[in-house]
């Protein structure tokens, strides 16, 4: 098929599994390079890609990717529910709130029991105020907080209203513990674990993080890196077109009702 015709049909949203060790933007660059190669496109600007929710480079899991006109529908997925599996460590805090950061605090955790963790988690369910991590993709005057922090620029971050649908303990073997968490938009799992560590009278950071659901997409729906090719992406767009359209319509209806 003519590559120009294919480009015109590459409009929609599809899910991928972001692997460990690359940023969300780098994942999109890899997809674009593969599409250009498969379709023999020499100007990568002809392919428009976007994603609906950043994952840290060390995190893995589901990301919704928009291509062409599908990028316009990513906003509805930003507001969609997300599920995570997270492995954490008590007794140590880092400046990034995860395993990549510099250790900034160590506090005893001997007093922390399974029941204390479970009870403390209740404080973080529902609508809460949450302070995002300094090392994040959030921007100030067009620049990421994380870049400003690395340059030593002082940044004042305001807490945000976010929603946690569910958070429950899945494992407890001090200093390590695991959680399953379901959230709304703008929620930072790293902040949750940091704040939870303080709530139990210690400190904590994220060791491993995987997003298992993003809006209507689950891990079983998403394309792993070895399937980031034109054929698989076209099939995935077609498979989820009706689901995404319905999701987008519901989002627009909800937005319209909020205005009134």
Measuring CA to CA, how many Å separate 60 from each of 23, 208, 211? 10, 9, 6
Tokens 């076209």 -> residue: 234
Cα distance between residue 87 and residue 94, in whole Å = 15
Closest CA to 19 of 213, 211, 216, 177: 211
Question: 38, 45, 56, 226: which one is catalytic?
Answer: 56
3-state secondary structure of 105: strand
- In the residue annotation, 56 being an active-site residue is answered as yes
Residue 231 burial by Cβ neighbours in a 10 Å radius (0-12, 13-18, 19+) = exposed
Number of helices (H), then strands (E), belonging to the chain: the values are 7, 13
Task: Report the catalytic residues.
Answer: 56
């Amino acid at each position: 098929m003519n590559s120009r015709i294919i480009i015109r049909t590459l409009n929609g949203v599809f899910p991928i599994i972001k692997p460990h060790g690359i940023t969300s933007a780098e994942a999109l660059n890899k997809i674009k390079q593969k599409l250009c190669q498969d379709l023999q496109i020499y100007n990568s600007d002809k392919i428009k890609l976007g994603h609906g929710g950043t994952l840290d480079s060390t995190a893995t899991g589901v990301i919704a990717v928009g291509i062409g006109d599908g990028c316009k529908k990513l906003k509805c997925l930003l507001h969609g529910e997300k599920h995570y599996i997270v492995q954490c460590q008590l007794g140590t805090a880092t400046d990034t709130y995860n395993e990549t950061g510099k250790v900034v605090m160590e506090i005893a955790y001997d007093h922390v029991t399974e029941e204390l963790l479970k009870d403390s988690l209740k404080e973080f369910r529902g609508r809460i105020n949450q302070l995002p991590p300094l090392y994040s993709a959030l921007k100030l005057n067009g620049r990421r907080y994380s870049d400003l922090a690395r340059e030593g620029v002082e940044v004042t971050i305001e807490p945000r209203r976010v929603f946690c649908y569910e958070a429950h303990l899945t494992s407890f073997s001090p200093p390590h513990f695991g959680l399953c968490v379901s959230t709304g938009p703008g929620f930072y799992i790293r902040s949750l674990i940091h704040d939870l560590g303080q709530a139990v009278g210690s400190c904590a950071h994220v060791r491993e993080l995987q997003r298992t659901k993003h809006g209507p997409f689950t891990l079983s729906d998403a394309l792993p890196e070895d399937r980031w090719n034109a054929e698989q992406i076209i099939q995935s767009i077609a498979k989820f077109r009706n689901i995404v359209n319905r999701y987008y319509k519901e989002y627009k209806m909800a937005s319209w009702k909020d205005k009134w």
